[in-house]
Amino acid sequence: MSFGYKTILAHFDSTPRAAQRLRHAARLADDFDAHLATVYSIMSPLYSEPFVADGGAFVAQELLRFQERKDADAKAAFDLAQATLGRNVEWRAATGEPAAVVIEQSRYADLVVLGQYDADQANDTTPDFIGRVILGSGRPVLVIPYAGEFKTIGKRPMVAWNAGREATRAVSASMPLLRRADQVQVAAFDARAGRGGHGDIPGADIATYLARHGVKANVSATNSRDMDVGSQILSRADDDGVDLIVMGGYGHSRAFEFIMGGTTRTLLASMTVPVLFAH
């Protein structure tokens, strides 16, 4: 069991949200006295833009120049952001498909920090980027919403508990944060007592486990037939002033397609506070 995060890896891209993501990662790195590294990897326009038969070589050359300018601007944005942090941050730039790059780099990190995909804005990654990293990295993945400012992350966390393997991994992976939290909530949604690993009182067993690690948690069980579990989690987080959701990341890969579970999809699409996923 890890007693802290010693290496934190943050994804950096050319979007304006990258600097905010770096600031959150740096704050966590300061809290845990951890090494902070960024990996810059984006979808190349050489692969994302269609080529035409006439002038294909010219188009490719112009796209390459465009990417070079984009890469230079991103590095300048990183340098500017780092100057405000008061600490050194390792810069890693890698070519290749972003999810594959981040998965490879994550092998040597304790926590990966990504930004939520915004379907209404320009992005440097594909919509399945986060899901692929969650499923393929073997590391906890902290996703920062694209909207909002977050003064704290993990002071008032909520564990979305369903007694499953993924949720168990999420609890273990978030233990450094849970130990330093002011208040921890364990919420079991639509749980059935005595089934699915919940025991006679849903949430009681995981609360006992946490207590043995020095984490005092309030336990509650919620049932709502009119609302899916993902929406219940978001509603509960908003009502209770939660600043971090801890939950299992559910999904599987099928050929070249990555299929995320319904609750995971809901959180990835509609999160209002940071979410720590583990698969």
What DSSP line would sit under 173-234, residue for residue?
HTHHHHHT-S-EEEEEES--TTSTT--SSTTHHHHHHHHHTT--EEEEEE--TTS-HHHHHH
Where are any strands of DSSP class E within 13-164? Answer: 35-40, 90-93, 111-115, 141-144, 157-161
Query: Cα 159 vs. chain centroid, distance in angstroms?
Result: 15
Eight-class DSSP state of 51: P
Q: With cut-offs at 50, 70 and 90, classify the pLDDT of residue 154.
A: very high
User: Alpha-carbon distance 191 to 213, whole Å?
Assistant: 24
Query: Is the pLDDT at 113 greater than 90, yes or no?
Result: yes
* Stronger pLDDT, 45 or 34, i.e. the higher one: 34
Closest C-alpha among 270, 276, 278, 203 to residue 243: 276
Q: With cut-offs at 50, 70 and 90, classify the pLDDT of residue 1.
A: very low
Residue type for 145, please? P
Mean pLDDT, rounded, for 238-256: 86
Confidence (pLDDT) at 223: 79
The pair of structure tokens assigned to 42 is: 């984006």
The pair of structure tokens assigned to 259 is: 């299929």
User: Alpha-carbon distance 77 to 45, whole Å?
Assistant: 20
Q: With cut-offs at 50, 70 and 90, classify the pLDDT of residue 61.
A: confident
Q: What is the pLDDT of residues 169-193, one digit of tens each?
A: 999 999 999 999 999 999 998 776 6
Least confident of 17-31, 37-51, 81-95, 105-119: 37-51
> Tokens 């609360």 map to which residue?
207
Confidence (pLDDT) at 195: 60
Mean pLDDT, rounded, for 18-42: 97
User: Alpha-carbon distance 74 to 19, whole Å?
Assistant: 10
Confidence (pLDDT) at 91: 98
Residue type for 9, please? L
* 3-state SS, residue 37: strand
Q: What is the pLDDT of residues 262-271, one digit of tens each?
A: 999 999 999 9
User: Alpha-carbon distance 47 to 43, whole Å?
Assistant: 7
Q: With cut-offs at 50, 70 and 90, classify the pLDDT of residue 202.
A: confident
Query: Is the pLDDT at 55 greater than 70, yes or no?
Result: no
> Any idea of the CA torsion for 60, 63, 69, 75, to the nearest 10 degrees?
-100
* β 184-189/157-161 pair status: parallel
Q: What is the pTM of this model?
A: 0.91
Query: Is the pLDDT at 78 greater than 60, yes or no?
Result: yes
* Stronger pLDDT, 162 or 191, i.e. the higher one: 162
Alpha-carbon distance values, 82 to 37, 147, 221, 255, 279 (Å): 11, 21, 43, 40, 31
* 3-state SS, residue 157: strand
Q: With cut-offs at 50, 70 and 90, classify the pLDDT of residue 208.
A: very high
